Amino acid sequence: MGKQEDFVLRALEERDVRFVRLWFTDVLGSLKSVAIAPAELEGAFAEGIGFDGSAIEGFARVHEADMLAMPDPSTFQILPWRGETPATARMFCDILLPDGTPSYADPRHVLKRALQKAAEAGFTFYTHPEIEFFLFKGKPDKGDRPVPVDDSGYFDHTAQGGGQDFRREVITMLENMGISVEFSHHEGGPGQQEIDLRYADALSTADNIMTFRTVVREVALSQGKWASFMPKPFTEHPGSGMHTHVSLFEGDENAFYEAGAEYQLSKTGRAFIAGVLHHTPEITAVTNQWVNSYKRLAGGGEAPNYVCWGHNNRSALIRVPMYKPHKGNSARVENRAIDAACNPYLAFALVLAAGLKGIEENYELPPEAEDDVWSLTENERKAMGIAPLPRNLDEAIRTMEASELVAETLGEHVFDFFLRNKRAEWQDYRSQVTQFEIDRLMPMV
């Protein structure tokens, strides 16, 4: 038993914790939970908690079902929405095979493996997500259009607005759990919210995103509302993304910063961007994993649909911000493609792997896009060497299938399962007759 385990066991008594929830995610990023009594926790730290992996999406075939959930004591937190007494706590888990080796199907281990590779190259990977979502008056019935909680727009301050009170309660709960929030505001669509988490190492951020999505849904339900991270719930309004700022550090030094360089961006930073741009089409099926994700990317505005980068260009896939040009540790790049409905462990692992590949092989950064990429013609984009992202999930799957980088980063099991699941989703989607087809064709065909 280490110091962290001892701290958790003492906290159980001091805080009157009666239930401990062990959290982990499946391959698609859905949160899973098993509750144990405090008396069982010491044994769980030593040996893990056994469960049937075949019952979890993507974890195991029936004949190899036994798995262990090993709680990570560094992630111990009290769940504030469960009340103070008796209290309920949670910890994230690493998933192990019966012999104690990491499970090939654990998304958290996929990210840990990518972070270890970065560490061997001397880097620590930090991420800072801007998470967008919609807040509705209630869960819509099947076939009904969801009703937003307001008609406000970007940065609007609405007197006695329900969104403001909602964001305040969410942020209070997050901070009670040790998750720091940097900004919050109303986004561009009616009922659309944005809450930005403060930067942290990528593993902590991925855990925080899973907690964030749970807190948002819990607060919404407690207020009689419904929150959704669906990338594009409305045709006529902006979609919800998760613009993610990333940076690499070498010790205490930001590896992306070079004083006097163009945009203060170092050679390492430029090669990292080049790697992400080069491999983004291959990883898009993971960073944008749902059929609906491509409705957001095709919508224009601030959602990217082309592989390019720019300085403060919000139509570009990768943006190099300059908020604090003379503060080296704030140097970073922003990936604007990722949406909030992804599996953050897999998404971060692949963005990191793509950037590291660019550094390892000295990829050359193409010229930046200075114009609004959406306003250019197709021929102009071709002349500038700006290629499109996959247009739909089918294209994204086909591109991912041929990617050695994705297969190596995810591992064979996760890679194969993810592709099988997404092919099935695309097949279900493409066989549906939509209201659009009925409205357009029925009157004239």
Helix (H) or strand (E) holding 191: none
Q: What does the alpha-carbon distance between residue 122 and residue 124 come to, in Å, rounded to a whole number?
A: 7
Closest C-alpha to 306, from 376, 389, 216: 389
Q: Is 296 annotated as a binding residue?
A: yes
Q: How far apart are the first and last CA of the chain?
A: 72
How many Cα atoms within 13 Å fall on the side-chain side of residue 173?
Answer: 24
Q: Is 314 annotated as a binding residue?
A: yes
How many Cα atoms within 13 Å fall on the side-chain side of residue 257?
Answer: 17
Q: What does the alpha-carbon distance between residue 252 and residue 254 come to, in Å, rounded to a whole number?
A: 7
Q: Is 167 annotated as a binding residue?
A: no
Q: Is 245 annotated as a binding residue?
A: yes
Closest C-alpha to 291, from 395, 429, 401: 429
Between helix 412-430 and helix 393-401 the angle, nearest 10°, is: 150
Q: What does the alpha-carbon distance between residue 233 and residue 12 come to, in Å, rounded to a whole number?
A: 41
Q: Is 108 annotated as a binding residue?
A: no
Q: What does the alpha-carbon distance between residue 445 and residue 441 come to, in Å, rounded to a whole number?
A: 6
Q: Is 437 annotated as a binding residue?
A: no
Amino acid at 192: Q
Q: Which residues of 124-134 are buried (b: 16+ CB within 10 A; e: fewer)?
A: bbbbbbbbbbb
Q: Is 412 annotated as a binding residue?
A: no
Q: Is 185 annotated as a binding residue?
A: no
CB-based contact 197:181 (threshold 8 Å): yes
Cα–Cα separations (whole angstroms), residue 292 to 226, 289, 418, 433: 19, 8, 17, 15
Cα–Cα separations (whole angstroms), residue 66 to 26, 40, 85: 15, 19, 34
Q: Is 90 annotated as a binding residue?
A: no
How would you class 444 by CB atoms within 10 Å of its CB: exposed for 0-12, middle for 13-18, buried for 19 or more? exposed
Closest C-alpha to 129, from 233, 201, 25, 217: 201
Q: Is 247 annotated as a binding residue?
A: yes
The full DSSP string for 203-233 is HHHHHHHHHHHHHHHHHHHHTT-EEE--S-S
Two tokens, residue 358: 């660019």
Binding site residues, as ranges?
130, 132, 182, 187, 194, 243, 245-247, 296, 302, 314, 334, 336
Binding site residues for Mg(2+), as ranges?
130, 132, 187, 194, 243, 334
Binding site residues for L-glutamate, as ranges?
296, 302, 314, 336
Binding site residues for ATP, as ranges?
182, 245-247, 314
